[in-house]
Amino acid sequence: MAFFSLYSGMPIASHSTLRAATIGRLGEIVGPQGIFTDPAELEPYVVDWRGIYRGAAAAVVRPATAEQVAAIVKICAETKTPLVPQGGNTGMCGATVPDAKVNPVVIALGRMNRIRNVDALNNTMTVEAGCVLANIQQAAADADRLFPLSLGAEGSCQIGGNLSTNAGGVNVLRYGNTRDLVLGIEAVLPDGRIWNGLRSLRKDNTGYDLKHLFIGAEGTLGIITAAVLKLFPRPSANATAWMAVPDPDAALRLFSLLRQQFGDRITAFELMSRACVDLVLKHIPGTRDPLNTPHPWYVLTELGDSSPGDALRNELALALEKAMENSLVVDATLAENQGRSKALWRIRESIPEAARGEAGMLYRHDIAVSVGEIPAFIRDGQSALEKHFKGTHIICFGHLGDGNLHYNTYVEGRLRSDAAARAANDVTTVIYDIVKQYKGSFSAEHGIGIAKVEELKRYKDPIEIDLMRTVKHALDPDGIMNPGKVLL
């Protein structure tokens, strides 16, 4: 039986005899240590981080160089073998899960973990795709520079995955998304050619800026093998505040006030409902409530600059006093040292992990609206859900300063799986229809993967989808790159 590619109608090789021969050839490229087919070894590569999606793969291949990636892709192109690039497998929308229907080969980039070069004068570093984000941050710090991309999964996600999802995280407010932090990339194209676009230039208007096609493409256009990243001066002073606010309106006014005073020195401004904090305290060992009494909403903010001593912290303390006088802040704590700051951030960053530990049905919505509309969106979402779905709780947190909320809804008790699927669909439609009214995004930072392919069709402008298909077909006419993801 032959499977047909999504784009050309050409048969995609997928049957075991064909695949076994192909796997033998791939093994010759990477050696016995670089390939495995044993189901127990494949297991971590065929399930997503949340444990929601499960697929199947013919093999996992672990190349060590871009040349090996190119040789692997060439064979896959020739034999029409589908491929799934995989980084740290921490993605939130099933984009790494190999589609069992086509039994693809997973290309895991983790062995390509060299930092090739740090250029402190040019404020750039060149890294391979399999570098873990935390190691990149550390290498930048070792050169007295900052690589500002930061997210809860930084200890295991890889820069190739960050690029391919255009990851956001907590410092977007000051430094932008991953897309804004890149000057050049190297990528293996679906025909196996290596495109070396590893330029370290801040100015280069020589035609289409092709790197941006691969950034955020979720592995559907090629495999990123290396990148030139932007570095920044490292702030010598930091200040972290955990604040209880009466409601999201107050949080928004507080954001405006602090932004007016501190400008770009605010690197993060995160909103959380009490339900998030309760989840963390329940599921994450060693966490404790930063304040003495519970409050309905919290903001965690981080500031950084180069002022001497405690000047920044003192300035923030004064600003908080003023915010308290104006009833924008009800209670607050300022981290007195780095350890305390880390403990506050741990609460915020453990919310996804804590939510994973909760039984019951949880529907995740990673939405964006314009910053000023966040409070109205939260209100509208809440009243629509209360009206349509009894027993719904909202676990809402996110990057208020970017207009991006993880507006998750939780329904008590476990439903039977068919009822659960229907309920998930209904809840999601209610939320995304409101997002549409606000001219917002139904996927602000996590991407499409397999989780949101239907929503893409429903909510994205048909002309944009048409253009996306044109690009996909031009680069990957046989549809071998991460089939079943993003575009169907």
Give contact residues for ligand FAD (rule: CB under 6 A): 49, 84-92, 95-96, 109, 129, 151-153, 157-158, 160-162, 164-165, 167-169, 218-219, 223-224, 352-353, 445-446, 482, 485
State in angstroms the smallest separation of the CB of 423 from ligand FAD: 24
Q: Which of 226/329 has CB closer to ligand FAD?
A: 226
The residue whose Cβ lies closest to ligand FAD is 161
- Closest contact distance (angstroms) between CB of 346 and ligand FAD is 11
Closest CA to 239 of 345, 330, 133: 345
Residue 442 and residue 445: Cα distance in Å, rounded?
Answer: 9
**Closest approach of ligand FAD to the CB of residue 344, in Å:** 16
Residue with tokens 């291949």: 61
| Nearest residue (CB) to ligand FAD, 69 versus 319 | 69
Specify the residue, 23 or 189, whose C-beta has the smaller distance to ligand FAD. Answer: 189
CB of 463 to ligand FAD, least distance (A): 24
Closer Cβ to ligand FAD, 162 or 392, answer by number: 162
Q: Find the shortest distance in angstroms from Cβ 133 to ligand FAD.
A: 8
Question: Judged by CB, which is closer to ligand FAD: 168, or 248?
Answer: 168
Non-local (6+) Cβ contacts of 196 within 8 A are 186
CB of 185 to ligand FAD, least distance (A): 9
Min dist. Cβ of residue 278 to ligand FAD (A): 18
Q: Which two tokens stand for residue 96?
A: 């790494």
d(CA 4, CA 2): 6
Nearer to ligand FAD (CB atom), residue 164 or residue 428: 164
- With beta carbons less than 8 A apart as the criterion, state whether 237 and 326 touch: no
> Whole-number minimum distance, CB 219 to ligand FAD, in Å?
3
Q: How far is the CB of 321 from ligand FAD (least distance, A)?
A: 31
Question: Cα–chain-centroid distance for residue 310?
Answer: 34
Taking the C-alpha atoms of residue 427 and residue 444, their distance in angstroms, rounded to an integer, is: 18
CB of 351 to ligand FAD, least distance (A): 8
Sequence-separated (6 or more) residues with CB below 8 Å from residue 295: 244, 245, 246, 274, 330, 331
Closest to ligand FAD by CB, 86 or 428 = 86
In the complex, the smallest distance separating the C-beta of residue 96 from ligand FAD, rounded to whole angstroms, is 4
Q: What does each C-alpha distance from 29 to 25, 62, 63, 189, 454 come to in angstroms?
A: 7, 10, 8, 18, 38
What lies within 8 Å, CB to CB, of 171 at 6+ separation is: 148, 149, 150, 267, 268
Q: How far is the CB of 313 from ligand FAD (least distance, A)?
A: 25
Residue 358 phi, psi (nearest 5): -90, 130
Nearer to ligand FAD, 5 or 164 (CB): 164
> Locate tokens 């966490």: which residue?
287
Q: How far apart are CA 351 and CA 343, in angstroms?
A: 13
Please say which residue, 153 or 396, places its beta carbon nearer to ligand FAD: 153
CA distances, 100 to each of 103, 448, 483 (Å): 5, 18, 11
Beta carbon nearer to ligand FAD, 89 or 341: 89
Q: Nearer Cβ to ligand FAD, position 139 or 257?
A: 139
Which of residues 53 and 319 has its CB atom nearest to ligand FAD in the complex?
53
